[in-house]
Amino acid sequence: MKEKPTFLQPILELRDVHFYYGGVHALKGISLALHPGEIVTVIGANGAGKSTTLRLISGLLKPRSGKVIYSGSDITGLEPEKVAALGISHCPEGRQVFGRLTVIQNLLIGAYLQKNRNEIQRELDRVFDIFPVLKERRRQYAGTLSGGEQEMLALGRALMSRPRLLLLDEPSLGLAPMMVEAIFSTIASINKEGTTILLVEQNASMALEVAHRGYVMETGQVLLEGDSVQLLANDGVKRAYLGG
Amino acid sequence: MELRPFIDYFSLRRLIYRFVTWMPLRWMTLAMLLLLTGMLALAQAFLNPYYLSIIEFIGIYIILTVSLNLTNGFTGLFSLGHPGFMAIGAYVATLLTFPVARKPLMLPNLPAWLAHIEIPFLPALITGGIAASIAAVVIGFPVLRLRGHYLALATLGFIIIMSNLITNLRDITRGPLGINGIPAATTIWLVFGWAVITVYVCWRILNSSFGRALLAIREDEVAASVMGIHLTKYKLFAFVTGAFFAGIAGGLWAHLVTAITPRTFWVPMAFNLVVMVVIGGSGSITGAIIGAAVMSVLAELLRPIETTLGLYGLIQLITATILIVILIYRPEGIMGHNELNLAALVKVRSFGVSRSPSAPEDAKEGENRRRT
């Protein structure tokens, strides 16, 4: 049994967020909350608005209406680099590592906001501890890594800034099942070290297994929310996302 | 039986390799600088003015390509605007160094404050560079919102605007007639001094967290921005720094050729510079230097052939052919994204020394990865 951390104030809160892609009403009033220390997953089919939600949080998109509150302050519509400076690290969909730069350069760019050399070295050691394969390949161009290794690099890069909140967009995308297992157990252990994680996934069963709570999204709306145990037991969720 | 030379080939290579890897970067740089100084001194002592001017042009082209690489190679902003910035640097420096005594003859309608100004070359040069970077700030804000072809076109437009501006500001530029009789103040030392400064500055930028931010922008703007990198700030920085050195190069150019017209800094110049960067390898400082040197030497070698055969345009034809061949067979250019690495150069062909030198500390390694 996973133990639920005790919560005070939410670290991140979305209040009735609306977003339009041109004329398309992509998010129809999303509200969700994350508490410090939690892993919360957002599951749903393609086009439900999961990635859009993450981009709104990290400032890549600006909501039409509604509010994004982080640690009690309003960050709605803040520039992405300012959001990053507040300790929110976004690991974008499809990994997007810097292909023509080496692994180590990728990681150092992740630590861009950190100017202290010793801190950077410490973070680098930590990331290499979590992903020993990155240490082996540190001089290799990121573009030459396998999909799983690129995902590790993307995760490692996101961790280099020592974020308080980690936004993960489909980390299992296009990975072999064994690699998916490895990535998810890493996500769980990152969380145990104190990082709050918002995990967007299509792989609902895996996501609900590591998450404390979950939201089910469909066509721009939150359909269901609850403990992952409850969601896993929910008939609708089972039928729609868990193949049972 | 094979003949055994006195010092066998591989141990000689090994010796060189050892030497090159052992030598600290700082010393190596110093040695290179001394070598360059010696060569330039020899050139100045023994070469006739024609050859000397070719070497000076190579130096100016090095300043231009290395600084253009800052935007085009490292930040991934395909700019063609360098000639425009050169024009600003050239005209500003010229107006400041032109002898007061001859100003009324050449430019009778010059505003009074400009007519009475005459300052030494170096400060004039720097003023030209600063003027070019101010222009870069002004046009950078709107233009840097564009990407890819759109940016290339907008910067091409900038060259044309600059040229038209110069053509029409007759009072201070003498319009299409251009200004001649500019003091021949450019020396080989000044050119290569600035080339070394340009290379050093770009090198330092590239191997800092600042430079990594530029590279990240080139690779993926979205990912870079969520890492906390302020896109506009960095793009503008690269653009403005490049423009400063283009302005310097323009000033040097004007005082080397001693005559400038609006058409000196025109579209073919932009084309030439881009060819040099592409051939050398966009994304590599040494590549830009090699591209500049190879293409200027080639043009000078072909010039007599062009004249004797009466085939004017041969140089452009051959340049274009080389460009196409490079783009087909080695699209990343001679150096690609790598720097010329003496140790690797020796090592590549010698086996038996595959043992890599012990790995330095990791954070440092990222900084020192690009060794000469």
How far is B293 from B287, CA to CA, in rounded Å?
10
Q: Is the pLDDT of residue A14 over 80?
A: yes
Q: Is the pLDDT of residue B285 over 70?
A: yes
Average pLDDT of chain A to the nearest whole number: 88
CB contact under 8 A, A109 and B213: yes
Question: Cβ of A235 under 8 Å from any chain B Cβ?
Answer: no
Q: How many CB atoms lie within 10 A of CB B46?
A: 9
Question: Cβ of A213 under 8 Å from any chain B Cβ?
Answer: no
CB contact under 8 A, B222 and A98: no
What local confidence, expressed as pLDDT, does residue B207 receive?
A: 85
Q: Can you read off the two tokens belonging to residue B302?
A: 């072909």
- CB interface of A with B, residues 152-191, below 8 Å: 157, 161
Query: Which of A83, A96, A105 has the CB atom closest to B220's CB atom?
Result: A96
Describe the strand order of the beta sheet including A65-70 as a list of residue ranges.
Answer: A24-34, A12-21, A65-70, A73-74
Q: Can you read off the two tokens belonging to residue A125?
A: 């050691």
Mean pLDDT over residues A53-68, rounded? 92
At B313-364, the pLDDT tens digits run 888 888 889 889 988 988 888 887 777 766 555 554 444 333 343 333 344 4
What local confidence, expressed as pLDDT, does residue B108 receive?
A: 85
Question: Cβ of A144 under 8 Å from any chain B Cβ?
Answer: no
Mean pLDDT over residues B158-165, rounded? 94
Check if the beta carbon of residue A226 is closer than 8 Å to that of residue A214: yes
Mean pLDDT over residues B71-76, rounded? 90
Check if the beta carbon of residue B119 is closer than 8 Å to that of residue B96: yes
Q: Can you read off the two tokens belonging to residue B315?
A: 């140089």
Tell the residue number behind the tokens 């004017």, with chain if given. Answer: B312
CB contact under 8 A, B230 and A100: no
State what percent of residues in chain A have pLDDT above 70. Answer: 95
Q: Which residue of A has its CA nearest to B228?
A: A81
Mean pLDDT over residues B103-119, rounded? 86
Distance from CA of B358 to the nearest CA of A (A): 14
A109 contact residues in B (CB cutoff 8 A) = 212-213, 215-216, 224, 227, 229
Domains of chain A, with CATH numbers? 12-95+163-241 (3.40.50.300)
Q: How many CB atoms lie within 10 A of CB A75?
A: 18
Mean pLDDT over residues A232-242, rounded? 80
A104 contact residues in B (CB cutoff 8 A) = 362, 365-366, 369
- CB interface of B with A, residues 320-339, below 8 Å: 337
Residue B249's closest CA among B43, B61, B37? B61
Kindly tell me the burial class for residue A49, based on how many C-beta atoms sit within 10 Å of its own C-beta (0-12, 13-18, 19 or more). Answer: buried
The alpha-helical segments, DSSP class H, found in A102-146 are: 103-110, 117-130, 132-136
B213 contact residues in A (CB cutoff 8 A) = 109, 112
ipTM above 0.90, yes or no: no
* DSSP state letter for A173: T
Q: Is the pLDDT of residue B208 over 90?
A: no
Q: Is the pLDDT of residue B38 over 70?
A: yes
Put residue A91 in one of left, alpha, beta given phi > 0 → left and psi -120 to 50 → alpha: beta
How far is A124 from A175, CA to CA, in rounded Å?
24
Q: Which residue of B has its CA nearest to A163?
A: B227
How far is B40 from B129, CA to CA, in rounded Å?
25
The alpha-helical segments, DSSP class H, found in chain B are: 9-22, 25-46, 49-69, 82-97, 103-106, 112-115, 121-143, 148-168, 170-173, 188-206, 209-219, 221-226, 231-257, 267-280, 285-309, 314-329, 342-349, 362-368
CA angle B277, B279, B281 (to 5 degrees): 65
pTM score over 0.90? no
At A173-189, the pLDDT tens digits run 888 888 898 899 999 99
Query: Which of B215, B226, B365 has the CB atom closest to A90's CB atom?
Result: B226
Q: Is the pLDDT of residue A198 over 90?
A: yes
At A113-160, the pLDDT tens digits run 888 888 899 999 999 998 999 999 988 999 999 888 999 999 999 999
Q: Which of A132-146, B3-17, B165-179, B351-365 has the lowest mean pLDDT?
A: B351-365
Question: Cβ of A239 under 8 Å from any chain B Cβ?
Answer: no
Phi, psi of A172 (to 5 degrees): -90, 0
What local confidence, expressed as pLDDT, does residue B161 receive?
A: 94
